[in-house]
Every structure is written in structure tokens, then in C-alpha cells.
Amino acid sequence: MAKGYFKQIGESIDYVNSGSETIAYGDVVALTDCIGVAECDIAAGALGSLSLCGVYELPSATEALTIGQRVYWDSIGGNVTSVATDHIACGVAIAAKMAGVLVADIRIG
């Protein structure tokens, strides 16, 4: 029978910055199918930590959002959006957001 062995809770992960610029504390990092938020500054080539869960105030596109609405990360625009096409799953809105407001409270993960 196949077995799994506990490694960590998984709220955050180790992440090596393969880019050429420092990832700053609080920066959103687009991963393959989700996002992480930098828990510290991560210099180019260095190891740091990304949070994969929690509630964050993130930059948002101008559309309105409702509580519980699934949102996606637009890597080009650098914000969350309700549009899934060509974007990365990000989490859900935990509070309603009116159209035109440029931040949203999002539970990532």
C-alpha cells in the first residue's frame, strides 16, 4: 500500500528566487496553479518563504466582487480579477468590493 509521510503543515513553503531582482516582503509570486505571498525579502538566487494561505489585502481590478467569489491573479496587470481566462487561481473574496475600488480582501489558497 502506498504511504504518505508528514513533512510540514504547508501554510508556507521554501522558495528559491530564480529571477534577477529581489522579491520584496508582501510581493505576490505567481506559481504554476496558485499564488504565494513573500513572507520576507528574497534576493535573486536566494531562498525565502512564501505564504500559501491566509487573508491578504491585494491589488484588484476595478470590477465589483461578492463574498465567496472565486478570484484569479492577473500576472500582467498585477491584480486579482474575477476573470479566469489566462489567469492563475488565487482564492476567494472574503468581503464584498464595490466597482472602482482597487484593493480586495482575499483568502489565498
All residues at 6 or more sequence positions from 40 whose CB lies less than 8 Å from its CB, including other chains: 25, 48, 49
Please tell me the predicted confidence (pLDDT) of residue 39: 98
Q: What phi-psi label fits residue 9: left (phi over 0), alpha (psi between -120 and 50 degrees) or beta?
A: alpha
Do 24 and 40 contact (CB within 8 A), yes or no?
Answer: no
Please tell me the predicted confidence (pLDDT) of residue 100: 96
Please tell me the predicted confidence (pLDDT) of residue 27: 98
Tell me: the pLDDT tens digits for 2-42?
Answer: 999 998 899 999 999 999 999 999 999 999 999 999 999 99
Q: What is the pTM of this model?
A: 0.91
Number of CB atoms found within 10 A of residue 88's CB: 16
Question: Residue 43 has which C-alpha cell?
Answer: 534576493
